Structure 1
């Protein structure tokens, strides 16, 4: 199962493996709160700056991000964790509901045909 939640939300028993998928480490978060940091699956700096969490760019952002992900070998780490039956929680720091963790979950579910 793939979940998405803000890194500042409380830990829950069913979070499973907590994976930070942002390029930057969030303020005030201890390393013990995160199991894995996969900053390499975050959008490129160029794409992140272009998008700037503007909701009207959401669909184009996802298209470009999915293209980046399709060429990114680090995505395989996530896929293997999920295929093993592990609960995985993708963590993000943004206040916006239009963020890369939400898009990444959608991408992973398409690849896995969930």
Structure 2
């Protein structure tokens, strides 16, 4: 994959350098109107399963195990190819709704995608 992958909270203002803006949450972010999101794609099918999302609960103590389990889910997810194709085209910003900017599925997904490109 040749593209650049960044992450950003979906509630943060869009910036000109974001490239394609892709929401990777399974659920629509609370309080955000769809017309205000400035999305190019919503790929909820690459988000963690409901079971994994609930188990993780954004607990930093579970972060390493969450990343491992999420990688297992991603390895068997045929929709991942759609996201990889977008990344090959250029800059993609993975959007998420979580408050924690360091421990969320977009950060884990970006790391997973980067690991597959090398």
TM-score, normalised relative to structure 2? 0.91
| Matched residue, 2:97 | 93
- Following superposition, the deviation at residue 112 of structure 1 comes to 1.0
| Matched residue, 1:55 | 60
For structure 2, the residue ranges without an aligned partner over 5 or more in a row are: none
| Matched residue, 1:39 | 44
Instruction: Spell out the pairing of 1:11-90 with structure 2 (5 A cutoff).
Output: 11-32=14-35, 33-84=38-89, 86-90=90-94
1:107 paired with 2:86, answer no
| Residue 6 of structure 2, aligned match among 3, 8, 13 | 3
- Following superposition, the deviation at residue 71 of structure 1 comes to 0.3
Q: Secondary structure at the match of 1:57?
A: helix
Aligned structure 1 segments of 4 or more residues deviating by more than 2 angstroms: 27-32
Instruction: Name the Cα RMSD after superposition.
Output: 1.0
Q: Secondary structure at the match of 1:23?
A: coil
TM-score, normalised relative to structure 1? 0.94
How far apart, in 2, do the equivalents of 1:30 and 1:14 lie?
22
For structure 1, the residue ranges without an aligned partner over 5 or more in a row are: none
